Structure 1
Amino acid sequence: MSAAPVIGTGLDPESCYRAVKSRDRRFDGVFYTAVRTTGIYCRPSCPARTPASANVTFHPSAAAAQAAGYRACKRCLPDATPGSPDWDVAATAAGRAMRLIADGVVDREGVEGLARRVGYTPRHLSRILAGELGAGPLALARARRAQTARVLIETTSLTYADIAFASGFSSVRQFNDTVREVYAATPTELRGRRGGHPVTGTVSMRLAVRTPFAGRALLDFLAYHLVPGVEVAGDGWYARTLDLPHGPGTVRLDIDDAPEAGQTAFVSATFELEDLRDTAAAVERTRRLVDADCDPLAVAEHFAGDPVIGPLARRYPGLRVPGQVDGDEVAIRTVIGQQVSVVGACTVTGRLVAEHGRPVTSAIPGLTSLFPDAAMLAGLDPTTLPMPRARGRALVGLAQALASGDVALDRGPDRDDVRRALLELPGIGPWTADYVAMRALAHPDVFLPTDVGVRNALTRLGHDPVVASSRQDAWRPWRSYALMHLWNTLMPPVATEET
């Protein structure tokens, strides 16, 4: 991202104002513009007349702007933006905490639970968040609840009481007061402005993603790696089951390309939730899956002159690194897939799901089970698993480490600490640990030079694999995207179901 307004943990006012003057959508979600004369805050790309520089201040989060007494702009809806890509690139304690806050950890476990997951005392974590994001964990969680509430008010016909608890508020009164304060409107006024549509056991919304967005390539990857019972895909859509904090759920995503650079596109998501309190967690985990907060223009700019990755990045602008809805699931699937083909791994994993997955009921044909959780897999006899004994022992050992908390893949701990913990487990080598870091921890800078697919892709492109892989330092900090571009050249046609 050129001319980035973030310098250290602060914001450079001149760079921020240039982004506002140019209405640069790349910075939506990176910072917020507050206008003293109107008392509102906006996203940088707000279409309203650009305010005078003397009348604006810049804030690193919506919560910081709200704490300073500003209300959300009703025209540009500044909270309806992708999150900051810096949260994944740098993966500081503040960024890791923001991912957990978005998942609803503060609502479920309080500030103490959030701090424990990130590895700090509550007081020290609050200082870090206030310094980097301009607000403490409670204010950041409140801003996230307000955003979820607004989306549900405007896009569904759920009752206000249901919306209040689905958004994470502890009472309807708290919900009403927060909505009025943040949006200068009552819930009834917000619903009247947009108009909700009837829903029956479902919640539908649009997930903001930065463009360009190679949605079809992402869909092809997900469809190629489907696990029967847990996932299903069709022409332009993908669906899967969700194991959420308060109960099971499912999500269906309608995915397409969004080639126009520098805009905000949307992925349509329809959730079936047993408990509406899981709305925020379901949304955040789905956003992880589609890599919604990636800055594709920064990635493309970095690869522009590279002889290996540059042509691929131009052919597939906005290619994403598929994420996950459950880090434990990714790790377990990765171990199952060691030294076997993708098709073989999906077949074996499907057998594991059929035998040990918890059944779910869904309106989407083919979705029958939740992926088996780590605690259940930890108690299995490795010799009974449909795989070589060494891999079975590695899988059960990993499950035991996940169930006990010795390894945490919730994106709270430091990535390097997680990698070291994984490598200490029998049967977990560098390839597995790095792949898990890329998919489960959203690490943007992972490369697998020994991977057979990487070598095959480079050979097909006419490059010597050893020579080309020696360039990987030039691809930092986006080596995960370089890896995906290489794998993408090997993707076969994917047969999907029709619906």
Structure 2
Amino acid sequence: MHTDHERCYRAAESRDARFDGVFYVGVRTTGIYCRPSCPAVTPKRENVTFYASAAAAQDAGFRACRRCRPDTTPGSPEWNVRADAVGRAMRLIADGVVEREGVEGLASRLGYSQRHVTRMLTQELGAGPLALARSNRAHAARVLIETTEMPMSDIAFAAGFASIRQFNDSVRHVYALSPTEMRGRRRSTPTGRVTLRLAVRQPFHVDGLLEFLGGRLIAGVERIDGRTYARVMRLPHGLGAVQLTLQDDHVACELELADLRDTAVAVQRCRRLLDLDADPLAIDEVLSADPLLAPLVAAAPGLRLPSQVDGFEVAVRAIVGQQVSVAGARTILGRFAETFGTPVTFDLAASHGLTHAFATPEALAEADDTALSMPRSRARALIGVAQAVADGKIELDPGADREAVRADLVALPGIGPWTADYISMRALAHPDVMLETDLIIRRMLERHGVEPERTERWKPWRSYAAMHLWRASADLERTLR
């Protein structure tokens, strides 16, 4: 969209918050870049340039606006939808792959050369993988500077910078402030604890998210109290605990981490879990065109597709839930967490009664199929998936090729279309999965005479249609009781 100057200018002129994170406005007369909804006086047409990413604006010499803070906008919903190499690359960069594995690791995961990956990203986004990752690091540094008492040297390495000099230069370049100037006044927090506010696109159906997550809680791993969801997470450098309080216009996030280098990754995984970067207006517009879905969308505008902080955990949920009730699955999953998981001692976790991180693929791959408290055929299927993930034959990370993962899953013994589709929908955040083999959805479609070709009109948001149909079925069941 950033190449359509007139369309972008109209969005900025009307301060349309729907485009925050979709493109950025560089103002040549001031040298700053803003989000489209910035409350400042709209600059003249001839004085602005539009960029597809904050990194591109920064590389062009613009600094972030201190008023609208464009680096804190929701992420572009485009990267959640796209299945091509650029979309996969952006999801992997957001998950911190460049910091952990370098551009070489990113290229290897995508199956291209480093040069080709750099060319693709630069051509479409105006910045290569290193610049995009550097922009993410600068934002992570800002969070740590403003919310913790950590020494600046610790913050530099926690945010992923290779040196203090690189940290200082990047922060000055992006924000036109030194780290010391940026720190200012803030509330003191313990080392290892980070508090921040997660931006959300409107509308945001909080109750729908909490109902879905609440019905599937794993004892000892996650808990909901009112509008607060808490859980333990596995992260690249260690474990962590998170508390997410869902408000109508934002999500208050508190993290306690074993290693603060995981800050940016933890935040991104929380955003993915709650689907905070979705474009609810675009989704609702498509689904509302169908007479079956229109009243459901009207009753739950901005309904989200809950994803995950651990793709393997979702795969285990799907396999365990194949032939048992949701409540029965919760019981089995709780036993898995207690038996095969990792105990935690975070204060934040203890305050919510959380005791374990969920089991790793390696732990379940080594389990005996008679020790999993489930039919042996499903136990063997679960162990087979665990072994495939542990060996790297199947990757359930944000940048995985969704169609390839589905094909690999179905090829494993005991994994059918429903299980593979559910894993694709939630573990890979696939927005366009039509769970036609799901018993509840099939009954809903048959009851209303919906033929398969009609569901084709719901693309590319059929996963959200499934969420509405599940919610409608649950409402109907409560009404009939």
**TM, length-normalised to structure 2:** 0.95
Contact 2:337 2:358 in 1 (8 A): yes
Q: Deviations over 1:446-471 (max 9, x none)?
A: 11122122245557xxx43x536552
Corresponding residue of 1:481: 464
Query: Number of paired residues?
Result: 473
Q: Measure the CA separation in 2 of the matches of 1:198 and 1:395.
A: 41
Pick from 198, 211, 219: which aligns with 2:210?
Answer: 219
Structure 2 residue 399 is the aligned partner of structure 1 residue 412: yes
Pick from 293, 308, 320: which aligns with 1:336?
Answer: 320
How many Å apart are 1:159 and its aligned residue?
2.6
Corresponding residue of 1:21: 13
Q: Measure the CA separation in 1 of the matches of 2:413 and 2:464.
A: 29
Corresponding residue of 2:111: 119
2:113 aligned partner, one-letter code: T
How many Å apart are 1:407 and its aligned residue?
0.7
Structure 2 residue 380 is the aligned partner of structure 1 residue 384: no
Q: Structure 1 residues 375, 280: CA separation in 2 closer, same or farther (over 3 Å shift)?
A: same
Q: Per the alignment, in what secondary structure is the counterpart of residue 33 of structure 1?
A: strand
Q: Measure the CA separation in 2 of the matches of 1:91 and 1:268.
A: 30
Deviates more, 1:302-311 or 1:321-330: 302-311
Corresponding residue of 2:241: 250
1:467 aligned partner, one-letter code: V
Corresponding residue of 1:174: 166
Corresponding residue of 1:394: 381
Q: Deviations over 1:334-366 (max 9, x none)?
A: 111111110001101111111111111132332
Contact 2:275 2:307 in 1 (8 A): yes
How many Å apart are 1:492 and its aligned residue?
7.3
Corresponding residue of 2:437: 450
Contact 2:82 2:88 in 1 (8 A): no
Q: Measure the CA separation in 1 of the matches of 2:221 and 2:189.
A: 27
Corresponding residue of 1:141: 133
Q: Structure 1 residues 253, 366: CA separation in 2 closer, same or farther (over 3 Å shift)?
A: same
2:67 aligned partner, one-letter code: R
Corresponding residue of 2:186: 195
Pick from 84, 92, 97: which aligns with 1:100?
Answer: 92
Q: Measure the CA separation in 2 of the matches of 1:491 and 1:206.
A: 32
Structure 2 residue 367 is the aligned partner of structure 1 residue 375: no
1:324 aligned partner, one-letter code: Q
Corresponding residue of 1:496: none
Q: Structure 1 residues 138, 292: CA separation in 2 closer, same or farther (over 3 Å shift)?
A: same
Corresponding residue of 2:286: 302
Contact 1:166 1:280 in 2 (8 A): no
Q: Deviations over 1:81-100 (max 9, x none)?
A: 11111101123211211121
Q: Measure the CA separation in 1 of the matches of 2:217 and 2:262.
A: 24
Structure 2 residue 293 is the aligned partner of structure 1 residue 293: no
Structure 2 residue 145 is the aligned partner of structure 1 residue 153: yes
Q: Per the alignment, in what secondary structure is the counterpart of residue 107 of structure 1?
A: helix
Q: Deviations over 1:258-278 (max 9, x none)?
A: 2xxxxxx32011111011111
Q: Measure the CA separation in 1 of the matches of 2:147 and 2:80.
A: 29
Q: Measure the CA separation in 1 of the matches of 2:153 and 2:95.
A: 21
Contact 1:390 1:427 in 2 (8 A): yes
Structure 2 residue 47 is the aligned partner of structure 1 residue 55: yes
Corresponding residue of 2:124: 132
How many Å apart are 1:329 and its aligned residue?
1.2
Unaligned segments of structure 2, at least 5 residues: 477-481
1:442 aligned partner, one-letter code: A
**TM, length-normalised to structure 1:** 0.92
Deviates more, 1:158-167 or 1:134-143: 158-167
How many Å apart are 1:371 and its aligned residue?
0.8
Give the aligned CA root-mean-square deviation in angstroms: 1.7
Q: Measure the CA separation in 1 of the matches of 2:441 and 2:346.
A: 37
Corresponding residue of 1:81: 73
Structure 2 residue 265 is the aligned partner of structure 1 residue 277: no
2:258 aligned partner, one-letter code: E
Find runs of 4+ consecutive structure 1 residues off by over 4 angstroms.
456-459
How many Å apart are 1:418 and its aligned residue?
1.1
Corresponding residue of 2:479: none
Structure 2 residue 156 is the aligned partner of structure 1 residue 164: yes
Q: Deviations over 1:426-479 (max 9, x none)?
A: 1111111111111011111111122122245557xxx43x53655211111110
